[in-house]
Chain A
Amino acid sequence: MSSTMTNVSETPEARPRSPLYWLRYSITQYTIQWLLLIVVIILSLANTNFRQPANLLSVLLQASFAGIGAAGMTLIIINGAFDLSVAGILGLCGVVLGLVLPSIGIVPSILLALVVGVLLGVVNGLVVTKVRVPAFIATLGMMYIYLAIGFIITNGQVVPVTDASFRSLGTGNLLGLPIPFLIMIVTYVVLYGVLNFTTYGRFIRAVGSNPTASRVAGIPVDNVQIFAFALVGLCTALAGVALTAYLSSAQPNMATGYELRVIAAAVVGGTSLKGGQGTLFGTFTGALFFTVINNALNLFNVGAYWQYVAVGLIIITALGLEALRHRFAPASRG
């Protein structure tokens, strides 16, 4: 019960709503989805290149690399923690995958990469819960450790990936859609199920809403958090598989700045850094929104360096707007 999000429709009186009310409701509840729709319509009208099917498919493809990882990040932020080490996890998983691929074949390599991702996530979770270090600093330290391990096992070299059928995982299409985008959809569907229909998934939100109450209620708070970190590791490893296939190579620093893009997708999608609040659908839209903006910057020939500025501005704006919304609508808080 406490795990369901408070929303406007739960006011006690059940009088019929005017259309205006439903419009306002959908705008406040689905802000980012409306925003994405408006931006896509404007861009389609303003730029003929944007609305080309090839470009739209490439937006979906580009969105999926950050999008897959953002699913995990959403869970850990809902849990009230944070993971800055995802760039290190992604690089390390990609490197492991690239190194073992020639000798053990595609499926075992992918499974191994996913297992490595889960293990690294569990390590993060153990450091945060057992050593009692604040998550964002612990994972900042872990990120450099993972990066260093990646460099040590590759000796600083790029790992080439030549297997054509593996590479099609990153570059191929299925049912007219890029395969990484399909992986992203599956990831979100599965995690939605985990978050809403499994006991541990529901604990994730409960712990994020109120850790003390959760502990008193007998929820194994530490284990739930380790579970959430493991899911982050799993999603990030999956993104690593897709990115390695797409780039046809792997190196430890292949995802520098990944944490920013992933966190941006989550917070733009309405995930609250206070924990407890956020939806996977929001993050999914956030990842698309973000890629559309980057794509537009490219189409309008804005230099690559501006994208750093755009990422930061979007994160801060999204968080600032959320804070404003809370300030002006205190009643809607749980």
Chain B
Amino acid sequence: MQTPMNPTVSAPQGKPLASVLRFFQVFESVGVLAMLLIVVVAMSIINPVYLNLNNVVNIVITASIISVVGMGMTMAVAMGGLDLSVGSIQALTACVAASLLDTTNIPLTIVGTLLLGMLIGMLNGAIISRLRVPAFVATLGMMSILRGAALLFTDGQSILIMGHDDFARLNTGRLLGIPVPFIIALITLAAFYILLKHTPFGRHVCAIGGNENAALATGLKIGRTRVLVFGLVGLSAALSGIMLSAQLLIVDGTLGTGLELQAIAVTVLGGTSLAGGSGNLPGTLLGSLLVAAISSAMNILRVPPFYQYLALGLLLILALALDALRRTLVKRAMMGEA
């Protein structure tokens, strides 16, 4: 309070701000990694089965499927948005992919399913930007609509994927010893990373997330950017739907319940702030590995499945609390009260 208003605030207050920011930068890159290491080391001591190649591959595959959706979600959060409909999109696209397999070939199935997911996502974006409905309610409504669509599409039945060994290889295959799902996740990471950090589009996304009014005043095409970002979320959810159907080989309209929670959790765990304005995509991948490692640990320890919801919920609240703390500290440092 007694410090005089200073036009060059950053100079005298640079020190606390820098140290706060450095702490969180270090935490963002190392914190999740440290938690991951703790889980892995603790589990390998408690039960060596945890480090079996099979189990590690399973963890990586589960993480890859979550991380693909998580990266889409990270783009939306960076733009100051949110998509609660990803679980329903995953269910619908997984069912569509399973039934397309029987009528066409694999490449067409994949392209068609991804296109469907992208269009659904763009519809989300159009509802949000044209009807001016807050993202979380619009996608909450779409979550219900698409869940109904998935159940109607399958008529409440399961769809078996049989006799498509090449499709199953999307899950079981290896390339240079690396599981294919992980390669898909890495390619998605690279593509989204380039989009977010090295294109005008990505800068617009962060600008809208940072300050929508300023972005509007600068003349950015907010509506179009928003439609495209939600299109990307839909695309990533559809990709995860394909990966999931290749893993399960039996799909139904109830898949993906609670996926929105996982996707948001890995995004926030990875260090993307809900305040918007930036996205940490590699962090999202690490966050997914952590969530998958914890869930595998709980399976091996024979913890009943509902404890996993508890763990995920608590993990999310913890990550959100850290995010809130970071925002408060950064704000305080910038105001010069640190």
Contacts and interface: CB of A to CB of B under 8 A. Distances in A.
A303 B153 CA distance: 12
Given A263-B140, A319-B137, A140 B324 contact: no
Contacts of A134: 274, 320
A259 B84 CA distance: 13
Given A132-B324, A312-B141, A313-B141, A307 B310 contact: no
Interface in B283-338: 304, 306-310, 312-314, 316-317, 320-321, 323-324, 327-328
B249 interface: no
Contact of B137 (A131, A267, A303, A307): A267
Contact of A131 (B82, B314, B321): B321
A304 to B, nearest CB: 8
A147 B131 contact: no
Contacts of A141: 261, 265, 313-314, 316-317, 320
Assign chain B's interface to a size class: 35 or more
Given A148-B307, A305-B152, A306-B152, A142 B133 contact: no
A151 B311 CA distance: 13
A184 to B, nearest CB: 23
A148 B137 contact: no
Interface in B238-287: 253, 258, 260-261, 264-265, 274
A267 B137 CA distance: 10
A105 interface: no
Prevailing SS type, chain A contact patch: helix
B148 A315 contact: no
A136 B136 contact: yes
B144 interface: yes
Nearest to B151: A305
A148 B313 contact: yes
A306 B304 contact: no
B307 to A, nearest CB: 6
A138 interface: yes
Contacts of A324: 131
Contacts of B142: 312, 316
B306 A156 contact: yes
B132 interface: yes
Contacts of A309: 144-145, 148-149, 152
Contact of A316 (B138, B147, B312, B324): B138
B61 interface: no
Contacts of A82: 136
Interface of B: 82, 84, 127, 131-134, 136-138, 140-149, 151-152, 156, 253, 258, 260-261, 264-265, 274, 304, 306-310, 312-314, 316-317, 320-321, 323-324, 327-328
Given A305-B151, A312-B140, A319-B138, 7 more contacts: A131-B317, A141-B316, A144-B258, A147-B306, A259-B140, A309-B148, A316-B127
Interface of A: 82, 127, 131-134, 136-138, 140-145, 147-149, 151-152, 155-156, 252, 257, 259-260, 263, 267, 273, 303, 305-313, 315-316, 319-320, 323-324, 327
23 contacts: A131-B321, A133-B324, A137-B274, A140-B84, A141-B265, A141-B314, A141-B317, A144-B312, A145-B310, A147-B309, A148-B307, A152-B307, A305-B152, A308-B144, A309-B144, A309-B152, A310-B148, A315-B137, A316-B127, A316-B131, A316-B141, A316-B142, A319-B138
